[in-house]
A and B are shown apart, each in its own frame.
Chain A
């Protein structure tokens, strides 16, 4: 008499639990407004989440290889900006450059990475960069203008990603 052998399990091993997902929209192209989506994205990816950012309108400048090192802080109509001057003076030549210089100085002193560094960190963590196809068409941006590794997509593709996400934020 032979011993019964337990049959091999027919089902595949249990799949790992689904990763949480963060879907971000980055719509602003100023230096100060470009940081928050990248900070959130690198943090979420560090937590093990799946992350996608949809870069649209001026936010697409964050992926523009000639522009993402030159994003600036608005000195006009920005009462919370880094230089507190009367609004009218915010329009004088050099004011935007001065505000930008002040903020870059803050970031450097705090040992915060530059925007291009953040972009590289996010890509290194596997964050998906959706480049808005409509913005590219409207603003005359070619795919060769963008940094490598972007997914050119419209709203439907991003919403398809966002529909299965746990957190969605518009910046």
Chain B
């Protein structure tokens, strides 16, 4: 069994630092719209709601939240675009 030590490779990165709801979700949706299914968006947030909002966004859109790093000053999410999002 292997343990993943590296975060997923991202096709695109979006930094929404200092932006509040709804802008991280709004901008992430636009960025995801430019990706192909299976590609990954790295999303950086400082909105205190993002730990709740970004998983909800992925669930509603049909994307997959493949990794989360909430250990620093910002929260980082790796979102894989779903087949029908």
Listed in ascending order, the chain A residues whose CB lies under 8 Å from chain B are 16-17, 20, 39, 42-43, 46-49, 110-113, 121
Contact = CB atoms under 8 A, between A and B. Distances in A.
Interface of A is mostly: loop
B44 interface: no
A168 B2 CA distance: 47
A111 B19 contact: yes
Interface residues of B, number: 17
A20 B60 contact: yes
A111 B20 contact: yes
A42 B26 contact: yes
Given A16-B84, A110-B20, A111-B19, A47 B26 contact: no
Interface string B68-85: 000000000000000011
Nearest to B53: A43
A20 B61 CA distance: 10
Nearest to A118: B22
Contacts of B61: 47-48
The interface centre, meaning the residue of B18, B23, B30, B85 with most chain A CB atoms within 10 A of its CB, is: B23
A47 B57 contact: yes
Interface string B8-36: 00000000001111110110111000000
A46 B57 contact: yes
B84 A46 contact: no
Nearest to B61: A48
